[in-house]
A and B are shown apart, each in its own frame.
Chain A
């Protein structure tokens, strides 16, 4: 009956045993690499499916992707034009400072939330189907990238109305966005197992992110002294935000060395967490499944 009686001689073999996967590092890394390629494809199709599903049930459809950030930017513009925020060179600079800060921070916090939200949404298939689990993270990153792209273009359009001229430093802007997304994903993946097991994480996360905003150079310009300024100085996110802002607006004077070191560190942490995620997810799934 079988078309190919010798088939079983070259079948891929999978072994499940209690032994920790990391004890066989070569096979483990090989599997990670294989699943990484698969999860890029699957993550992309999950992302497309999510976008379609989200916006199909909305009358205005995909335009919602644009509407929300556009309204935010427009609001800042109108507030400024109507002198609700005092005009003048100082005020223009503050508007640029604040708007770029908030946009960058929003991108970061979306990146933190993405793995957690996607994990919760796919819980039901996680416990039933076997697929490269990394796809959940990948599809989250695609979503964050899309939103980040739209927000940053709108920001640059607004800034151009206030005669901010882009120069070569603008290259720093996308670089810092990517670094912030990586850093956010790292934090999101750290929280992921806890968020899957305990609902405390979801409850506390919005507050923590709000607090985080105040210890980063987002809306407040840190002074030379004071406790807050000290915290902002040691906060590794500060240099990423400041570099992005410098790229978009030319404001501030961030250390490029610090920026690249932080960016590379984030990548290192991402690789580490990618491995940890893979190891721990089956255990997490076991505990959440009925």
Chain B
């Protein structure tokens, strides 16, 4: 017997776009099943493949991050693995107790108290009363809801509900865990606590983790699967590569905001390539970024500043340039001018970044012009692929007493 807890072989699943047809096919399929006739494995009219030829295997202690755009088939795959819907082709073998956290607190009854909901939810998730008795204190402890546990759940805030749901879920002690977008919950303290709890659980479990937060995927997962148009586009342990492929398939379109015609930008070019043709801008580590543009400002603007923000794939701003800090604000003399902005020595770790561009007032408070996601920037050759976080590499030097000698190490985080 194989030691894979999850074994997916040639899995395919089809869906129907049309509601009326879908219901009709549902009745047809039902009667086929009743009489033991095999499924029609061809597409019928208005049907499409939601999943096609998926092959995945997972052992205990492995965590697979499932990424892909909306509608790529991630949730469908989880539903099949959880036995909620049947595959149309292929075979899925699940070994051990399966817990799926598809939606935290699904099935909570608002009229019942937190305690009663723990028991009711636990029963639906497959725990016996005796098991829940044993886990009860620990569940309440983890959720930090001691003072509210005898109040009806309808008086809970949404964060409290999520905490209760998550506490129940991690106490299920499954062999296989299916997670669908559930870690983006709660306040920062609870988020860290739940991520740590997850990390512990993962070591004894085979986990499939669906998330749009590539940051969490990179932090938790040991391998990654990119679904694209219902097929596997990448499956492997090179998480950075999988994530970068995902980000390339889903470039966020740039959006330009011009506030009441205060400022208009034209003929933008990035490192001497016009913006419209440039696409992905690749910059080797330590090289310069040059943004050229023609600026037309409203005559009422006397002074202005320019700001450029760099955001990582989780949309966190990791660095910015603001002319305010570099020199005084620029005086608006000619109302129309060709500008050349040069940012030297970009020192970010390898990965994809987004560039936001702003024209602001002299104090850097009011925006005259804003171009979000002006272009995607790819850093290469930094020699660092930092797991989870893309960031700025700083220079630094350690000096110490005589007896300390530097030992060459592998960079690791």
Contacts and interface: CB of A to CB of B under 8 A. Distances in A.
A247 B122 CA distance: 43
B274 interface: no
Contact of B111 (A12, A56, A131): A56
Contact of B102 (A8, A11, A129): A129
Interface stretch (A73-81, A107-115, A248-256, A282-290): A282-290
Contact of B106 (A45, A46, A125): A125
A168 B129 CA distance: 41
A128 B111 contact: no
A87 interface: no
B120 A15 contact: no
Contacts, number: 168
Contact of B100 (A46, A130, A193): A130
Nearest to B124: A131
Contact of B91 (A16, A124, A280): A16
A131 B125 CA distance: 7
Interface stretch (A17-25, A96-104, A207-215): A17-25
Given A16-B86, A49-B116, A129-B100, A22 B34 contact: yes
Contacts of B175: 7-8, 11
Interface residues of A, number: 52
Nearest to A198: B23
Interface in B62-111: 79-98, 100, 102-103, 106-107, 109, 111
Interface string A15-48: 1111111110000000000000000011001100
B91 A15 contact: yes
B204 interface: yes
A130 B116 contact: no
15 contacts: A8-B1, A11-B96, A15-B94, A16-B93, A20-B37, A42-B124, A49-B116, A53-B111, A57-B111, A124-B106, A125-B124, A129-B84, A129-B106, A129-B125, A283-B33
Interface of B: 1, 3, 5, 22-23, 25-27, 29-30, 32-34, 36-39, 41, 60-61, 79-98, 100, 102-103, 106-107, 109, 111-112, 116, 119-120, 123-126, 128-129, 152, 175, 203-204
Interface of A: 1-3, 7-9, 11-23, 41-42, 45-46, 49, 52-54, 56-57, 122, 124-131, 193-194, 197-198, 276, 279-280, 282-287, 289
